[in-house]
Structure 1
Amino acid sequence: MEQHLIYSFFLIFAGAAVLASIALYTRQPLLVAYIALGAAFGPYGFAWVSDIKLLDEISHIGIIFLLFLLGLDMQPSHLLHMLRKATLVAVLSSIAFAAMGYAVGVGFGFTQTESLIIGLAMMFSSTIVGIKLLPTTVLHHKHTGELVVGLLLLQDVIAIIVLLGMYSGDTSAASSGGWQYLKTLLALPLMSGFAYLFVRFVLLKLIQKFDRFHEYIFLVAIGWCLGMAEGAQFLGLSAEMGAFAAGVVLATSPISQYIATSLKPLRDFFLILFFFSIGASFNLGLISKILLPSLVMAALVLTLKPVIFRGLLTRISEDAKMGWEIGFRLGQVSEFSLLIAYLATDLNMIGIEASHVIQATAILTFLLSSYIVAFNFQCPIAIPDHLRRD
C-alpha cells in the first residue's frame, strides 16, 4: 500500500506540474489541468491511479483547511451581520435553482425521484471554487468577499438539511431521523460556544506561552482545525463548518495571520488531490448518454445563477455591479452536489446516468465558471495581469 500511494502521488504531482506549466504558458486556469489529469490517469482513463476512494478521502482535508483559513480572515461581528442579510437571498435562490434542475430532469425523461435529486444538487455553489478564486489580500476584508462567504455558509446549512433528509429516507436510518435533525439544530450554537470558550481560556494561553516555538503553533493550529472538523461531523454538521468555526474564533487573535500564512501550502497540496479525484471519478464511457442533458444543465446554471443572484441581491439594496460579480463567482454547482449524487446512487434513489449528469454538470461548471472569473474579475489565477491578486 505504501509503494502504491507513493507511486500515485508521484504520478499526480509530476503530471500536475507538467500540465500546470502548459496551462500557465497557454494562460489557462490551473483547475483545468488538475481535473483533466484526473480524467486521464484515473480508472476510466489510463488507470494508472486506481485507488480513487483513498485519494478522495485524503483530498477532503484540503477543503477543511480552505474553510479554516477563510475563517481566520473573517471578523465574527461582520460575519453575523452578513449572515442575517443574506439569509433570504440564499433560501430564495436555492428554491429557484432546485426548480430549474427538476424541470430539466423531467424534460430529459428522468423519473420524478431522479429529477428531484438533480434539482436538489443544483441548489448549491462551490465553496472551493468560490473561495479559492477570492484574492485573500483584497476581497476578504471587503463587502463582496463577506457576501460570497455568507451565501456559501448558508448554502452549507441547507445542504446539510438535504443530506440528512436523504439519510432519513434510507430505511436503515429512518428510525433515527428525528434525533438527527434535533441534534443538528442544537449543534451549531453548542459548537460555537465551546469553540469560543476553549480558544479564550485554553488555546490562546498555550500559544502565548510557547509562541517562540513555530513548530508548536503549526501543530496546534492543525490539531485545532481537524479536531473541530471531526467534532462538527459527530454533531451532525459538516466538517467544513467545524473548520470554519475554528478559524473564526481565532480571527481576532494577532496570531491568526501567521497561522494562515503557514497553512496555505498544505491547503494547496490537498486541493490538487481534490480536483484530481473529481476528474478521476468520472466514467468517460457514459459521455455519449449524458452529454446533452449535462450541457443543457451546465448552460442554464452558468446563465441563470448570475441573473438570479444579481436580481435578489439588488432587492436587498446591493449595487448591481456587485450583484453581477457575486453571481458569476457563485455561478457553478457544488462539491455538495457531487456528494448528493454519490449518496443518492448508494441509496438506490437514482440511476447511474442521473448521477453522472450531476457529476458532469459539476465538472463543466467548475471549469467554465473558473474561466469566466479568471478573465473578468480579480482572483489569484486571473488571466489578465492587471486582475491577478493573491
Structure 2
Amino acid sequence: MLGFDNIILELSIIFVGSALLATIFLKLKQPVILSYIFLGMLIGPWGFKLINNPAQIEKISHFGIILLLFLLGLDLQPAKLIKLFKKTALITLVSNFFFMGIVFGILQIFGFTALNSAVAGIALMFSSTVICVKLINTNTLHHKYIGEMIISILLIQDILAILSIIIIKSGKLENAILDSLFLILKLIGLILLAYLVVKFLILKIVKKYDTVHEYVFIVSLGWCLLVAEIAKVLGLSYEIGAFIAGVSLAISPLALFILDRLKPLRNFFLVLFFFSIGANYDFLLTRNIILPGIIIVIVLTLIKPMVYYFGFNILREDKKISKELGFRLGQSSEFALIIAYTALQINIITDSTSYLIQFVTITTFIISTFIVMKKYKTPISLK
C-alpha cells in the first residue's frame, strides 16, 4: 500500500503535469479532458514510469464519479425523472441491442468465438456516464433539457450494465434471472428507504441548522457516501446509490446550495479518474487486435449518433436536439472496462477480447470528447 509521502508526491506530479499539458491543449484549442488522459499515457507505467501504480490513483478517483452522480440527482426532481424514463426507455433498449449486434457481427467476421463476440458486444453497447455528464452545459434551458434526457438514458444503461455483469458472473441463465429480480427488488427498497429517511429525518434536522453552511455540507456528503455504500452492499453500484441519494435530496430547497459547494471537490477527483484511464492503457497489448478494434471504433462513432438521431426523430423530438443527443452519446462506457475485467477473471473471454474492449472504449472516449467540444457548448469549452 502506498505511504502518505508517495501519495502526495504522485498527486503533485499529476496536477502539475495536468496544468502544463492542459495549457498546451488549450492553446491548441483541444479538449482539456484529453490532456488528463494523455498525461496518464505519458507518465504512467507504460510511458516514462513516473507513476508506477495507477491502480491506487484509480481507487481514489472513483470518489469523483460518486460525487458526479450525486450532483446529477440533486439537480433532477423525482417526478421529472419518471417522466423522462417513460420517454427514453424504449429507444435506449432498442439502440443498445442494435449496437451489440453490430459489434458481434464484426468480431464474427474476424474469427472471434460467439461467446467472446457477445461479451464484447454487451460491453461496448453502452455510453459513458462520466464523459457525457462532464460535457453537459446546463446553464440554458436548451442544454438543461438535453442534460436531463442524457441522464435518463445513462441511468437505464447503468442498470442494464449491472444486470449484464450479474449474468456474466452467474454463468447460468436461470441464476441470472433470479439474481436480476432480487436486484430490482433491492433497488426499489433502497429508493423507498432513501425517500423516507430524507423526508422524516434529514430535512427536519438540516432545517434547524441550515444557516451553518459547513454543517449542511457535511450532512449532504455523509448521506451521499452512506447510500452509495448501501447500494454497493446490495449488489448495485456506488454510482446508482449516489444518484438515489441526490434525487432524494432534490426536494430540499438546499439542493442548489449543496450542488454549488460540491462541484470543486468533484472536479478534483475527476482529474484523477481521467488520468488513471490513460495510465492503465498499454498500446503494446492491443497490437494484435488493432484492425478489428479500429473498424469497431469507426463504425460505432458513425452509427451511434445516427441511431439516436433517427430514434428520437421517431419519438417526434426536435431534430436539432436529436442530433446533439446522438453525438453526445457517441462513445463507449467505463462499464465496458468493468465488464471486460469481470469476464476475463472468470475465463469467459480471452486476453485479446479484453484488450480490444479497452482499446475501443478509450479511443471512443477521445474521439467523442473531441467531436462534442468542437461542435457544441460545454462547461469546459473555449467559447
TM-score under structure 2 length normalisation: 0.95
Q: Is the 8 A contact 1:73 1:140 kept in 2?
A: no
Task: Report how far residue 178 of structure 1 moved.
Answer: 5.8
1 CA distance for matches of 2:373 and 2:140?
A: 15
Q: Is the 8 A contact 2:301 2:364 kept in 1?
A: yes
Q: What residue is the counterpart of 2:232 in the other structure?
A: 233
Task: Report how far residue 246 of structure 1 moved.
Answer: 0.8
2 CA distance for matches of 1:122 and 1:219?
A: 37
Q: What residue is the counterpart of 2:158 in the other structure?
A: 156
Q: What residue is the counterpart of 2:60 in the other structure?
A: 58
Q: Deviations over 1:165-191 (max 9, x none)?
A: 011129xxx997565323202012111
Gaps of 5+ in 1: 386-390
Q: Is the 8 A contact 2:70 2:243 kept in 1?
A: yes
Q: Is the 8 A contact 2:286 2:356 kept in 1?
A: no
1:111 aligns with 2:149: no
Q: What residue is the counterpart of 2:337 in the other structure?
A: 338
Change (3 A) 1:140 1:71: farther
Alignment of structure 1 residues 280-295 onto 2, 5 Å = 280-295=279-294
Q: Is the 8 A contact 2:309 2:323 kept in 1?
A: yes
Moved more, 42-51 or 189-198: 42-51
Q: Is the 8 A contact 1:183 1:236 kept in 2?
A: no
Gaps of 5+ in 2: none
Alignment of structure 1 residues 300-311 onto 2, 5 Å = 300-311=299-310
Task: Report how far residue 300 of structure 1 moved.
Answer: 1.0
Change (3 A) 1:151 1:178: closer
Q: Deviations over 1:311-333 (max 9, x none)?
A: 11111121222111101000000
Task: Report how far residue 381 of structure 1 moved.
Answer: 2.4
Q: Deviations over 1:261-284 (max 9, x none)?
A: 111111111111111111111112
Aligned residues between the structures: 381
2 CA distance for matches of 1:72 and 1:139?
A: 17
1:136 to 135, 138, 143: 138
2 CA distance for matches of 1:8 and 1:221?
A: 29
Q: What residue is the counterpart of 1:187 in the other structure?
A: 186
2 CA distance for matches of 1:178 and 1:113?
A: 19
1 CA distance for matches of 2:177 and 2:298?
A: 38
1 CA distance for matches of 2:149 and 2:328?
A: 11
2 CA distance for matches of 1:211 and 1:327?
A: 41
2 CA distance for matches of 1:169 and 1:139?
A: 46
2 CA distance for matches of 1:37 and 1:191?
A: 39
Task: Report how far residue 206 of structure 1 moved.
Answer: 1.6
Determine helix, strand or coil for the equivalent of 1:318. Answer: coil
2 CA distance for matches of 1:142 and 1:45?
A: 39
Q: Is the 8 A contact 1:74 1:141 kept in 2?
A: no
Q: Deviations over 1:205-245 (max 9, x none)?
A: 12111222222111111111111111111222121111111
2 CA distance for matches of 1:103 and 1:30?
A: 35
Task: Report how far residue 372 of structure 1 moved.
Answer: 1.0
2 CA distance for matches of 1:333 and 1:368?
A: 11
Task: Report how far residue 139 of structure 1 moved.
Answer: 5.3
Q: Is the 8 A contact 1:45 1:284 kept in 2?
A: no
Change (3 A) 1:176 1:210: farther
2 CA distance for matches of 1:46 and 1:351?
A: 28
Q: Deviations over 1:62-116 (max 9, x none)?
A: 1110011111111111110010111100110011010011112112222222111
1:123 aligns with 2:122: no
2 CA distance for matches of 1:61 and 1:151?
A: 22
Q: What residue is the counterpart of 1:347 in the other structure?
A: 346
Q: Is the 8 A contact 1:39 1:282 kept in 2?
A: yes
Q: Is the 8 A contact 1:140 1:146 kept in 2?
A: no
1 CA distance for matches of 2:33 and 2:290?
A: 21
Moved more, 153-162 or 373-382: 373-382
2 CA distance for matches of 1:210 and 1:51?
A: 43
Q: Deviations over 1:99-147 (max 9, x none)?
A: 0111121122222221111100111000011111111322587432221
CA root-mean-square deviation: 1.7
Q: Is the 8 A contact 2:136 2:143 kept in 1?
A: no
Moved more, 7-16 or 133-142: 133-142
Q: Give, as a single letter, the amino acid of the residue that structure 2 aligns with 1:91.
A: L
Task: Report how far residue 24 of structure 1 moved.
Answer: 1.3
Q: Is the 8 A contact 2:78 2:247 kept in 1?
A: yes
Determine helix, strand or coil for the equivalent of 2:249. Answer: coil
Q: What residue is the counterpart of 1:388 in the other structure?
A: none
Q: Is the 8 A contact 1:328 1:373 kept in 2?
A: yes
2 CA distance for matches of 1:108 and 1:159?
A: 25
Among all aligned residue pairs of Structure 1 and Structure 2, give the percentage whose two residues are the same amino acid: 43
1 CA distance for matches of 2:345 and 2:142?
A: 38
Q: What residue is the counterpart of 1:34 in the other structure?
A: 36
